[in-house]
Structure 1
Amino acid sequence: MKQKLDAEESGIRSERDEEHRMLLEAESLHHGEGLLTEALDRFILRMDKMVRHFTPQEHRIHRDYFQKHLHPFLLLSPFVKRAYSKPLGYPGDYEMMRMLYEDHDQGETLFARLINRYCSQLSVARSVMGRVPYMLGKTNRILGRASGNRETVSIMSIGSGPAKEVQELIRSNPKGDRCHLTMIDTEWEALQYCRAKIDVLKGVTRSRIQVGYVNKSIHQLVHHPHTFDLFAGQDLIYVMGLFDYLPFHISKHLIQRLYRLLSEEGDLIIGNLDASNEARYFMEYGAEWYVLYRTPQELIQMVEGISSAQVFVETDEEGTQLYLTVRKGKRPKESLSYPPEVATVFYGKQ
């Protein structure tokens, strides 16, 4: 396929009329995308069944073979290349999240653009993108509940990354003058990017939403919790993606720390990828992107010891993204404040 597309592209680039050239490119991409998607979808399913019971040594041998033969193609994708190279030292950094949220049609050649499109639109990638409407719905519900009595709403994002959901909140609800958001991230670079985007949006929309930026690490939150005492009274704390990389004991400890920062009826929402992700080994072999996948039951176990909390887990329609809610107080679960295709109740207890 690559040879065929490269040959087509060579002919297309000789076309002098730009509009016609773009039309020919679009036709080639449309045709190639269907073929590539069908082939790689089958490949990923077969790969998952084939390697899931391998020993660590067998995984290493087959990963080396995979990379030797497929990296020349996969690393043409800017998204896969960044995932594999990890310039900030870890996968899933703010720039990778930005790549998912923005235009997927990236790459130097038609074939590279197809690979980038495909890898940016795997079911697990769609689940990550689905965090934005999910959290926007949760945030708007809390703002709506507080609007009647004109309370100030405090919201905190841990591992905020590009904070796409905050950008969407400002676009859709710019007059939230009683809303204060705190973005916490270990990467100052991520906070700078986030602030630049939000400042522009606030200028355009004249938003009165207040946003603060805090450069702190999870280590500080876990081992020096009093550093965060000034943030007590949060109506909503959410952590999207960070728990994908934290072992159980640290996750449980962090939940206890964050729970103490909630207001009397506050919610703590944690996103974690589900263990059923069929693209797991494609991600691990292709990009060495390793995630601590969990089941709903394992997420519930993280909250053991907080007897006063209401706990429930939701999943998205892909079945790949889990959302753990730890609720303080006795407020009942509301009706869904987001489209039913975004998430449905999966497992829970009160």
Structure 2
Amino acid sequence: MAKSYEELMGALGRAVFFRPERQRVRDLLSREAHPQLLVDGDEHPLFDVSLNGVSFLSQDSAESWAAGRELEVTLFLHGREAFRGRGRVARVEPGPRKGVRIGVALVGGFLDLPEILHQDEEGQLETDLRAGPEFWRERIPQPLQESVGRAVHFLHFYRQVLDRNEARYRARGARAGDPIASLADRALAELREPWAEIQRSASRAAVECLGDRQVLLASKRLTETLVTPVLSVCPLVERAYTKPLGYAGDYKVMQYYYNNALEGDSVFARVFHKLGVEHPLSAGVRTRKDYVVRLMEDEHLRYLDRAEASPAFRVASLGCGPAREVSDFIARRRGWPGHVAWTLIDQEDEALSIAYNDSHRQLQATGADGSLQCLHLSFVQIMRDPSLLPIESGQHFIFATGLFDYLGEAVAQVLVRTLFDQLAPGGLVVLGNALGPNDHFWSPEFILDWTMLYRTRDEMLRLAKRLPESAEVSVEIEPGNAYYFLMVRKH
């Protein structure tokens, strides 16, 4: 039912002051836009834009950018001027890796973002019409071209085979019953290993692309042009590639992983959807979930053995998604002495709704003594200022299974320290990250346009750089061998 005007809620506190949303350039513009920002004639990397300002990165000292200093700002897209105006330095803050980030408020003008997007799209169209596919193909290493060609042939061949035989069974009066279900099972058994080997081979060939941005973009475009459309009938691929919530690994994709089922409108779609949720990173979501549940159980028993004065075992999950770890913990334990209090944080309210309902249903079914607090918070806010994280101190167990796949090292280090500071003495933080190097990154990166930061063991350890010497730090691999976990205990 629609709400009346009087029922509509505005914002509270500082949020009542409207501020145009800033958007990261990499999220707003196409890969081919090649944005160039000239500030007083000197080029600087453009970081984000909004209706009334821009920010850029500089290796100059912060003192070089005095607040209030007026600047001439010119933005080029596809080699053409898209905006020219004047601005004033509004803020100076540390850059994401090094140097400083300069925020500029435009003076006497604004960035027409819809027009900027239109210019970007027109630039893409002009380049595509003029250059054609050979512009991209000639940049792609031959081994990857061969791997993509092999994948395309494989997919088209089996789509024809499965579609033809599904139609044959239906023509004989078969419903979605034994013959058609058997066809899917037979196909899975035969195609599982050949498709896995094609993906491994493509991943090996794709390593050569990672050191050159133009080669990487060309190789991704080839894959997205030839492979992705064939697989788009699979629910997993369609959801992860189109990103209706703005990113690939949303709660619905996580549910596909957890369901681990044949889903789709045809045998071909169901088979390759199932192969997608069996991918090492997909299967790793399930094994890392079980791993975290066991850790939570161990920490709870440890808490009970210490007979602490704290009235509750306190757990926080950052980027919780559907929070299957919590509902599974309740279902497995079914009851315990004392109280368990969970704080679940995510940027999607639908994910929080699922997390709350599933976990609350388990609490009701088991009669276990637990409570759930769900917090809706943008990860952009967290990445800009980890100190805004609304987790109360005194937590006994804090976990984040997927968030760190997307955080640069500097931001991740600050967030690790922030989480550590919220622990009770003896408490544990566990932070997952996709393992690298690996032989399966081609599918997410090239087919789904799903970019993650794969970290080595040493890179995981570097995330603890800001912690005090008293912190007990280690790195473990979950049983699926797809994700590292940084383990930090507070003493």
- State the Cα distance separating 1:298 from its structure 2 match: 0.6
Partners of 2:487 and 2:326 lie apart in 1 by: 19
1:35 to 1:228, Cα distance in 2 relative to 1, 3 A: closer
1:230–1:31 Cα change, 3 Å: closer
SS at structure 1 position matched to 2:322:
coil
Residue 254 of structure 1 is matched in structure 2 by 415
What CA distance in whole angstroms lies between the structure 2 residues aligned with 1:231 and 1:290? 32
Q: Does 1:65 align with 2:225?
A: no
Two-structure CA RMSD over aligned residues (Å)? 1.9
The counterpart of 1:233, out of the listed 394, 398, 414, is 394
TM-score between both structures, scaled by the size of structure 1: 0.88
Residues 1:202 and 1:64: Cα distance change in structure 2 (over 3 Å): same
The alpha-carbon deviation at position 228 of structure 1 amounts to 5.0
CA shift, 1:33, in A, is 1.3
Structure 1 outlier segments of 4+, above 4 Å: 15-18, 219-230
CA distance in 2, matches of 1:188, 1:171: 23
* CA spacing shift, 1:227–1:4, aligned 2, 3 Å: closer
Bigger fraction of residues in strand = 2
Tell me the CA shift for residue 224 of structure 1: 5.6
State the secondary structure of the residue aligned to 1:52.
helix
Which amino acid in the other structure matches residue 326 of structure 1? Answer: V
Of 292, 303, 309, the match for 2:471: 309
Q: Answer yes or no: is 1:50 the counterpart of 2:211.
A: no
Name which of 285, 288, 291 aligns with 2:452. 291
Q: Do residues 144 (structure 1) and 301 (structure 2) align? A: yes
Listed as ranges, the gaps of 5+ residues in structure 1 are 330-350
Larger radius of gyration: 2
Contact 2:288 2:479 in 1 (8 A): no
- The answer to whether structure 1 residue 164 and structure 2 residue 324 are counterparts is yes
The one-letter code of the counterpart of 1:78 is P
Return the match for 2:290 from 125, 133, 157: 133
Contact residue 276 and residue 320 of structure 1 kept, 8 A = no
Please, which moves more after superposition, 209-218 or 7-16?
7-16
Q: 2:181 aligns with which of 26, 29, 34?
A: 26
- Rate the CA distance shift 1:76–1:146 in 2: closer, same or farther, 3 A: same
Whether 1:207 aligns to 2:362 is no
* Deviation (angstroms), 1:227: 5.1
Aligned-partner SS, 1:292: coil
Cα pair 1:276 1:319 within 8 Å, conserved: no
Alignment deviations for residues 135-192 of structure 1 (CA, whole Å, 9 cap, x no partner): 1111111121223427521010001100001110111123244111110112222111
Separation of aligned partners in 1, 2:455 and 2:369: 38
Residues 7-26 of structure 1: pairs in structure 2 closer than 5 A = 7-16=164-173, 22-26=177-181
Superposed displacement of residue 285, structure 1: 1.2
Greater relative contact order (Cα 8 A, min sep 6): structure 1 or 2? Answer: 1
Structure 1 stretch 163-172 or stretch 184-193: which is displaced more? 184-193
Return the alpha-carbon distance in structure 2 between the equivalents of residues 128 and 229 of structure 1.
Answer: 26
- Structure 2, unaligned stretches of length 5 or more? 1-157
How far the C-alpha of 1:87 sits from its partner, in A, is 0.7
C-alpha contact (below 8 Å) 2:391/2:422 kept by paired residues: no
| Structure 1 residues 220 and 12: alpha-carbon distance in aligned structure 2, compared to 1, 3 A threshold | same
Over 3 Å counting, the alpha-carbon distance change for 1:321 and 1:229 in structure 2 is: closer
Per-residue CA deviations over 1:102-130 (Å, capped at 9, x if unaligned) read 14210100000011000110111111111
* Pick aligned residue for 1:191 from 337, 345, 352: 352
Q: Which has the higher helix share?
A: 1
C-alpha distance 235-50 of structure 1, shift in aligned 2 (>3 A): same
The residue type equivalent to 1:101 in the other structure is Y
Deviation at 1:193, TM superposition (A): 1.8
* % identity of equivalent residues: 26
